[in-house]
Structure 1
């Protein structure tokens, strides 16, 4: 790609002398040379208008002398002006296209108002076309063949190039200047937020239901881009056609979704449940973005940031803080041929970080994959085969399973191995749903199972609890519904399975310990599991610990601070426990070493505020910066670029982060593996 193509339209306009910036700080202004007009550059709407004005010049080939700013509108409020007007004549007497330019982060209601404002201005000025622009979202309408009140059938796909005929479609595959493009993290994050706001419909849907519908729509968008049957210069299907009503667009999107459902019936089982006008708005937000071309780091950070806020509160129990996930992955160090499972996968965090770990390995192994086609194929195969064949997740909440599938789709790929089902159900049922979920097969299991809820045999049916050997190692207090039997209960627990009556209700986290054991390979399989400290310390749970010690080697226990899950409204004190499943009949010596550590600074506090110790490694002011961010768990190296997306608060925007190998507790764990002796001096 040439340097010319890397420049924005506005940068080209400034370089070619159509505009210039003068002044500094709040006094900085942009001057539009051809029309002798200037505006305050700190105004957020001016950034949008300026970039769009430059796009009209370079993409749509309009003479800058025929594009007027702040055009006074007759017969309307005395101070009412149109943001931009393209004229057909050199004297600028015959309006052709009227535009309203708004901030990229405005609400749907505000955007609808801007449309009406554009339509009113258009009517007063006598222009055949009008539109509203808000960042990547734009809506264009034509009135050369339609009455002034029409808002549906007169949809215009794109701006005509140099007064020509309006195109039938806006985006075409591999067609110069009309293809989909990659976007920055900030623009993608803004688009995701807009989509969720549109689908939420002011509270008509729950946030998680809105996100579920978003996942289905993103699935269609992703598959449309990936459609190998589409020839070069053919239009994409995920966009609104010229003159197409929202009902017609919805019908086409529903058909695309149904086709993909037939190809992969296990991915999304229910239909898209969104009204056509709402669906049309979501398409409007997404149609110009290429999910396929946008960098994986960009997509990963944007979706993760959005979901971090989304899962706070009512859905906090489904979200594991990313620092804890990253640490667990570093300790277990997945390999590309290993099978990885999360039986309580939530939004898919552990699986995605395992995939990222293998992708970084591919980057090291094939450093020239972006320029060497042979390396490129090997690089892609290295991590994509792992994503497609080696990553598995089970999630009882169907809506969350859908989120995990979408997350995998965005990261290319592995979504077909996400199962929406109860991981504690009969193993034969799980295998029937997904034949690959074979007990004793998995090399690694990483999971943060739900805490505190109680599984009752009377609610689950005959035999459900009977499948768990651990039920015989519990005294009454572990159910959470019956009183402790005090000293007698503790003595029974210590005596083991035969002395304790089988329970009729058991806490989920206890059952998950055994389910993890069931799926791990005997002798080799390792796990990282987040457990409440009560399992490790309560005297009434000695029976559970006895069972664990007879079935696992405890490799490490890393104690987390009380607030580790507080930001997500889950204040249970917990630890990450690393385990290896013992071979049948294997007995460990009593003095087998266990790595035990206390992590105090885990990178964030109870409010979610970052607490890393930061060292700036390099910086080019207002361009790029590299930081080293340290906590007890490990150190990150974080790459930033300067962002002006929010003109009121320009600043550093994270582009990419990576864990620095062998730092923090990860480094101590590696030392312990080599020689545990010094740790016990």
Structure 2
């Protein structure tokens, strides 16, 4: 190398004297004194680095050891000063081409047998599972005095320490005893050839037979088949006496001539000598001496050809979203390796490579070849070394994304494959929204609920941010930012507004840049997700510096000064993880904060995460600030005090205005693996004097929330809306239907929002009326009083507001509690323990069926003795009853009890109803009506909870408004349904009969045997007295 400058990744004391005697004593202490074991195959399994390079290495190493090119390709005039060891790490090993015993000793003498010990790193001071890690190998190598370049080769998977032996993952993978003092020199030579000179490890062999049955230590070939020798290396131990050096020189030349090599190298640790053998006599030593090993040409003296030059006609270029999406997916799939890495780990490695890519895009000088590319015929190791250097340089300049000791943990071939996949794209010059569109689908396909993370699709994030209307002067926080979707959308909408507001002004770029760098904040507890968020923001042209990683938003030890204060953000936005309990004393989540510090957590041993995150988020808001969050519907409607949800709603009413709640469909997060029902909450924080006025009003005797709101002059309207279509299908594919907002051609929010929920919200916010049937506005006092649990879910309030609008002309309307009564017919199982019962179960078809005994946890028989010890409460159903599921009523699980199921049993989870007046209401018709789509939607509106098992409370069921035609019409509808079902049953029976007939015809004539083929030219033998049928001849 021409530049001997040391890199930041390796700390070496160039002038520190080396003490060979100390190293020898350390070597003798660490290496077990035992004979080499039998030959065995080495493991090629990839092993992950657990920590950074051991920092305790202090050796005198010549400058050539430290010179590893970083950044742009060698000789390119690329990124200046980027020399030194790469800080990246190789995760895993190059696949070997089979083992095989080494042919001969390390030097002259009998052949040395080699093996890969089953006890990895045995005798090297390692133990337990850590013995297989790269960290352990690095530590052992440092203790043995291996050079930093060799340690880097260990990290990159080129070299492996294994049970007191050293393994080289070259063309023919072999291992040798590390006890041989010459072996550390050979290791450094191989590391030099691959990591510094960029030669392909698959073109290197060890112990190749040369002259007079002597073995060359290392041979480098020009071709992949390893037949055309380029370099022969003879290694001698460090500080070898002159006699051994002379001997090594003779061996190097003899083997070089025998193998017809172009070059010969003698390497003995601190010094080396390189000769050109080709074209000179066998005894020539002076005129053909080129210097030390640094003079060895790179790439066989052939210039590597590169296609991409910064600022040139064939430079990287912006791409469309489809191209970016395809390329990014390809890169991730290469890293994921068919499931060998979990998606988050693969994302982490992906983000490191993207960080290196951004470095190359920003800092490659004009006219220099891009460092993040693969040259024609360039070895993977050379490409990987450059990428490691880019990553190290990026970390040194910007420490907000990765800690100093973080390394790329991918093997060289994987790095090169990823580079090929994305090398031609300029991410920094691609429109931000194009990148966002490409990444949206990519992120959504990977985040499927792992670690409680559910990726928020862009239409939802876009709608929430648009509801809040952020400005360039606002401070914005996402307390659980995940991959950064809400923050990215905030940037895009603010930048879009700035483009319009500051059009033609020179300050526009500064306004946009200042907002990204100074006003956007995020917190993410999972370090990998935090990195992905930062990389996403970086690729969207910055905004990543204020992301607090590896901390919970509930922590009392946040580092960013603004995050340590209350009332400092104009907007808090996001989609907090839910379904996770925050328990008292949970140091990971609370981290210096007590659960009692939150009003919603006081006196409780645990609360749901979304509840305390909601309170914490409001605390960050300035007075009058806005919160926009996706929350589970359980927070809005669960009635049980054990859920703590009523207490959360009470806290919300006391601390600000519930400005809007917009219901999202069940499938909003299905693609991420979640079936939770969610809604968007928009909340405005009270000013201090408003909160005091309301608190004082509530202290008056006998005053409830509705009166207090009125007395304090704080009653207000709440905007409710229910969206059925949200711009994507349950599978995540684009859907042109979008109730939330109208999109412009660019995909951003259009100026004209007529016909959308966002448009209705904007009109109502500006003082206009709401005339959209999906929306309704109700005063806060009325909302509080409308239900005993003070539920605030939109589906409930929108349904109630429009329930009478759907009564057909000529039909009457009545609440269910006025037409049916619940029956609880107890059964005395002790009176006849041997009696056999029928047990009823329901389905979404509306047809009852018998529950089978002996299936699952069911008893072997449905006899009275088994019910006596049952934990369930059982009731009897009678003919003419209506039975429904208290959990799945909203899915149409309701049926009419026919003669066949008279006296069947059901548990208390299946309420049994009887009509009060059969002359007014036909029970069979009512069962049909309650199964209709209209009433399934009504039951969706009244049920509570957010999971797939949502319960219908009995009181709410009784308040549902049903529509009744005259009794004759009811009976006629019921009869038509019976006839139709009978027709279906008859048709299915006919189908079964046809299929069974085909089965009968296809059976063999003799069961279990095959017809035999007659033998030609043989007359059949006739049994005595046998008669042939139909006059057949014998």
Q: Tell me if both proteins adopt one fold, taking TM over 0.5 as the criterion.
A: yes
- Is 1:551 matched with 2:626? no
| Bigger relative contact order, structure 1 or 2 (CA pairs below 8 A, ≥6 apart) | 1
Q: C-alpha separation between the residues in 1 aligned to 2:464 and 2:418?
A: 36
Q: C-alpha separation between the residues in 1 aligned to 2:490 and 2:543?
A: 12
Q: What's 1:443 paired with?
A: 570
Secondary structure of the 2:629 match is: strand
Q: In the superposition, relative to structure 1, how do residues 676 and 291 fare at CA in structure 2: closer, same or farther (>3 Å)?
A: closer
Partners of 2:480 and 2:553 within 8 A in 1: no
Secondary structure of the 2:586 match is: helix
Q: C-alpha separation between the residues in 1 aligned to 2:471 and 2:462?
A: 15
Find the partner of 1:508 among 604, 609, 616. 609
Mapping for residues 313-332 of structure 1, pairs under 5 Å: 314=450, 317-332=453-468
Find the partner of 2:326 among 170, 185, 190. 190
CA deviations 1:81-135 (Å, max 9, x no partner) are: xxxxxxxxxxxxxxxxxxxxxxxxxxxxxxxxxxxxxxxxxxxxxxxxxxxxxxx
CA deviations 1:385-411 (Å, max 9, x no partner) are: 211111111111111111111110110
CA deviations 1:162-214 (Å, max 9, x no partner) are: xxx86543322112x23222223222222112111111122211122112111
RMSD: 3.1
Q: What's 1:636 paired with?
A: 743
Q: What's 2:524 paired with?
A: 395
Q: C-alpha separation between the residues in 2 aligned to 1:179 and 1:150?
A: 35
Q: What's 2:619 paired with?
A: 518
- The structure with the largest alpha-carbon Rg is 2
Partners of 1:419 and 1:434 within 8 A in 2: no
Secondary structure of the 1:272 match is: coil
Partners of 2:555 and 2:593 within 8 A in 1: no
Find the partner of 2:760 among 668, 671, 677. 668
CA apart distance, 1:503: 1.2
- Is 1:254 matched with 2:397? no
Find the partner of 1:265 among 399, 409, 413. 399
- Is 1:612 matched with 2:736? yes
Deviating 4+ runs (over 6 angstroms):
none
- Is 1:385 matched with 2:485? no
Partners of 2:523 and 2:551 within 8 A in 1: yes
Partners of 1:406 and 1:415 within 8 A in 2: yes
Q: Which segments of 5 or more consecutive residues in structure 1 lack a partner in the other structure?
A: 1-140, 155-164, 369-374, 475-500, 614-630, 640-655
Q: What's 1:532 paired with?
A: 632
Secondary structure of the 2:429 match is: coil
Q: C-alpha separation between the residues in 1 aligned to 2:542 and 2:671?
A: 29
CA apart distance, 1:551: 1.6
Q: C-alpha separation between the residues in 2 aligned to 1:599 and 1:457?
A: 37
Q: C-alpha separation between the residues in 1 aligned to 2:516 and 2:664?
A: 30
How many aligned residue pairs are there?
457
CA deviations 1:518-559 (Å, max 9, x no partner) are: 2111x2211101121221222322222222222222111112
Q: What's 1:283 paired with?
A: 419
Secondary structure of the 1:608 match is: coil
Q: C-alpha separation between the residues in 2 aligned to 1:570 and 1:221?
A: 34
Secondary structure of the 2:661 match is: strand
Partners of 1:316 and 1:570 within 8 A in 2: no
Q: What's 1:659 paired with?
A: 750
Secondary structure of the 2:688 match is: coil
Q: What's 2:726 paired with?
A: 602
Partners of 1:173 and 1:234 within 8 A in 2: yes
Secondary structure of the 2:391 match is: helix
Q: In the superposition, relative to structure 1, how do residues 473 and 402 fare at CA in structure 2: closer, same or farther (>3 Å)?
A: closer
CA apart distance, 1:513: 1.0
When the two structures are superposed, what TM-score results if normalisation uses the length of structure 1?
0.62
Partners of 1:317 and 1:569 within 8 A in 2: no
- Is 1:220 matched with 2:356? yes
CA apart distance, 1:364: 1.9
Q: What's 1:309 paired with?
A: 445
- Is 1:146 matched with 2:222? yes
CA apart distance, 1:468: 4.8
Q: C-alpha separation between the residues in 1 aligned to 2:651 and 2:596?
A: 9
Partners of 1:188 and 1:302 within 8 A in 2: yes
Partners of 1:526 and 1:581 within 8 A in 2: yes
Partners of 1:457 and 1:465 within 8 A in 2: no
Q: C-alpha separation between the residues in 2 aligned to 1:503 and 1:403?
A: 35
Q: C-alpha separation between the residues in 2 aligned to 1:447 and 1:578?
A: 11
Partners of 2:670 and 2:731 within 8 A in 1: yes
CA apart distance, 1:332: 0.6
Find the partner of 1:406 among 520, 530, 535. 535
Q: C-alpha separation between the residues in 2 aligned to 1:259 and 1:461?
A: 32
Structure 1 or 2: larger strand share?
1
When the two structures are superposed, what TM-score results if normalisation uses the length of structure 2?
0.42
